[in-house]
Structure 1
Amino acid sequence: MKRIEFLSSVLLRGISSKVLVLALVLLPWVKLELFPRITWADAVFLLWGLTLYIQWTSHQCPLWLPSWPLRVYGFFLILWTITLLTSGMNVPHLGAYTFEIVGLIYLAGLSWLLAYVLSTSSLIFKTTINAIILGITVTLSFGLVGILDAILLGKFTVFFYNNANKLIATFKHPNQLAGFFVLFLPLIWERFLYATRLKTRVFYGALSLLTLVEIAASGSRAGMVAALFGLGLGSAYVVFRFSLRRVVLIGIIAAGFGAAIAYLQPSIWVIHRAFGGFQVVAHGEITDPFRQENWRMALQIFYRYPLTGYGVANIALDYGYEIHNTYLAVAAETGFLGLLPFIGLLTFTLFLAWQNTRWAKKTGQWPDVALGLWIGLLAELLYATQHHMLRARHLWVALALVVALNVLLRRTWFSGGRV
C-alpha cells in the first residue's frame, strides 16, 4: 500500500501529519477552549480535513476504499446520525436541540474520519497512541500539581478543583476527568505489565498509580468502581498464567495505592466519597437514590415517546437534570430508532476490540494496546451506566482507535506479518 501524504506542502509547509494527529488527540484534553465545546484541536482538525479534500480533488492524495470494518462502522454511524435528526418530532427547545445535534454529528464524523486516517498507516497509529500517552501525562501532571497544592498549602484552587473541591485537572467536570482516566487506564496498565525495560516499567507504573489516585481525588464513585473493574480484568490474565514477576508488580502498585490514599485522605476529603460506590454495591443496590429517581424519569419519558424520543437536549431543560445513564439517555431522547443503532454501534466495536486481542496474539503486533483498548472500552461502558457520556470526545476517539487497529492487524496478518 502506498504511503498517503496527507499534507499539502503549499498550504502547510513544514507541518507533518504527526504534528496534526498530536494536536487532534492531545489538545481537546487541555484547557485551550475557544467556546464551551469547540477547541483549538477542532480548528486544526477542520483545516486538516480541508487539506485532505484539496489533495484528493487535485489527485495529489489517492484515497483508498475503506475495508469492511470501516464500512460497517460508518453504516452504524450514519444510522445513528439519521436518528438524531429525527428524534423528538415536536422539539420544544429548537436552539438547544440544534446545538446538541450538530455537536453529536460532528463527533460521529470525527470518529469515522479518524478511524479511516489511522488505519492507513501503522506509523500514524503509533503516533496517535503516543499522543494519547502524552495527553494522559499532561492531565496527570496538572492533577498532581493540584494535589500538592491541597497538601502543602491547604488550598483547593479553582484551576484544579471545582466548587465541591473535587479534582478536575484539565477538564471542566470531575466526572469527565474520571471517565477519561477509566477509559485509558487499562492501556497504560497493560503497557506497565508488558514492559521489558526498567525505565519503561517505572514510567507506566507511576502513571498507573497516579491515575488511580487522581480518580479517587475526583470523588467519582462510579469512576473508582469502573477503574478497579478494568484493572481486575487486566490483571486476570496475569493471575491465570501466573507470571510471578507481574504478580509482584501488581502487588507493588496495590500497596502504593493504599499508602497514597491513607496519606491523602485527611487533606482531600472527597477521596472517602470515591469509595462510596462499593458501599452502594454492598447494600445490594446498583446506584444511589438520586440516580434511581433519575432513571425512573428516563423510563417514563421513554414510555411516553417510544419511537423517536423526547429530543436531544430537551430533557435537561424541561426536567432540570440530564439523564445520568448513557443508555437510558439515548432511549429517552431518541427512542427505539436511536437506541437500536447506538447499541449496534457499541456491540460491533466491542466485537472488533475482542477480535483485536486475537489478531494481536497471532501477529505479535500491538498486544498491549489491543488488550488495553478492549478492557478500557468495557470499563468505560460500565462507567456510562452512571453518567451521560455521549459528548465525551475521548470515547469517540477510543472507538476510532479500535476500528483502526482492527484494520491494521488484519492487514498485517494477510500480508504475512508486514504492516
Structure 2
Amino acid sequence: MTLLDLTPRPATDDRLATLPVLIIGAGPVGLAAAANLVERGIDFAILEAGTEAASSIRLWAHTRFFSPWRHLIDPASRRLLEASGWSPAAAEGRAPTGRELVDDYLAPLAELPEIGSRITYGAKVVAVTREGMDRTRTAGRAAAPFLVRVEHSDGRVEELTGRAVIDASGTYTTPNPLGSSGLTPLGSDRVRERVVHALPDVLGADRERFAGKHTVVVGAGHSAANTLIGLGKLAREEPGTRVTWLIRKPSAIRVSSSPDDELPERAKLGTRVERLGRAGIVDVVDSFQIGRVEPVEGGIRLAGTRRGEPAVVDADLVVAATGFRPDLDMLREVRLELDDIVEAPKRLAPLIDPNLHSCGTVSPHGYQELRHPEQGFFIVGMKSYGRAPTFLLTTGYEQVRSVTAWLDGDLDAASQVRLVLPATGVCSTGDTGGGSCCS
C-alpha cells in the first residue's frame, strides 16, 4: 500500500507566483512577517489601517510591557535592522513601554526601504475572498488569487490580488463587550461617553478625565491590572478619586503574583494590585455578572447579579478591560476552520483555551496549527489567539517564521518550530482554577 503525503503545500500556479503576499496590519507581527519575506526574496504588500506603523500600540504607548526587550524583537527583523546600522536602544533585560517599542524598534523597522516602500497607510481591509469566487465555489479554488477589498482614508475603494494573505490585524480595536453574556449590555447606547476603552492613560493625557472621579475597572487580566495601578496612584494624588475593580469570577488569578513567574514584571503587577486592595485604595467586587447599563445622576450604573442576587454598582466612568475578540466579518468569504469556543484556528485552540490550558508555556506551533481549508490564508499574531488571553509577541514571531517558510516551499524550516515561553508559575484546568498565562 502506498502512503500519500497529504501535507498542504503552497500553490505553484505560474500566475500566483507573480503576485505579492498581502499582509494585513503593520504591527509587530505583520512587520515581522515582512522581514521574513524580505530574507526569502518574496514580494509582499502591507495594508495598514492606521496612519503609522504599530497604530494600535501607539494607543496604549504609555503602558510598560512585562516582557523584556529580548522577547520583543523578531530575529529576522533584528538581522535587517542591524544590517542598516541599528542597535538596541537599551539593555535587553529591561521591559520597555509601548512608546519605546515603537520609537526604538518598530518605527525604524517600518522605515527600512525594503519594508517601508511596500506599506500603504490609511488602508483598511474590509473583505477577503478569492478572485471570482465566493466561499461556496470549490473547482479551481486553490489556483485563484486572493482578492482583498481596501477602503482608503481618502474615500477610495480598491481591490488587490495576492498569492497568499497573512492577517496580522490584531484585536485591540475590537474589544469584548461589558456584558457577561458576551453581548453589548442593554442600555449601552445611553452611556457610551461613560465607557472607556482598555488601557487609558490615567496618569497622563487622560488624567483630568479620571481625577476626582469614581472609576470602575471591569476585567480580570493584565490590562485591568495596569489601569488599576495607575488609578491607585491617581487616588493618592487627587482627592475624591475612587477605584472599584469588578470581576466576573471569584478571584482575578490572571494577575497572580506568583513567585515562580519567569517574567518578574508580570508578577509585580499582581503584587501591586494586591497591595492596593489591602490598603483599601481599590475596592474589589467579585462574582459580578453585568446584564445592563444605564445613566444615573451624571454617571453610569452597572446592573446585574452577584452570587445569584440582584446587584448594582454606580460610578462616574467605566474602563472596559474585558479582553478582545477577532474581527471575523471581513473574512466571511474565506473558508476558515475555527474553534467553537475561542475562535482560534482549530488546531491551535487546545493549546491556548483558558478553560483547558495549563499555564507555563504554549507548545511550539507554526503553519500546521494555523492553516485553514483556504490554502494560502493565515491568521497570525494576537488575532490567531481568537478570544484567548494568552498571547506573547515571541509567539507571533515564530508563527510568521514558519508561515513564510511554508510560502517559500521550505517545508523543513516551516516544520521545525521551536518556541520556549517564560512560565507564569500559575496553572489552570478550568474556571475555578488559576486563569491563563496572559499577554
TM over 0.5: no
TM value normalised by structure 1:
0.30
TM-score by length of 2: 0.29
Which structure is richer in relative contact order (CA contacts within 8 A, separation 6 or more)?
A: 1
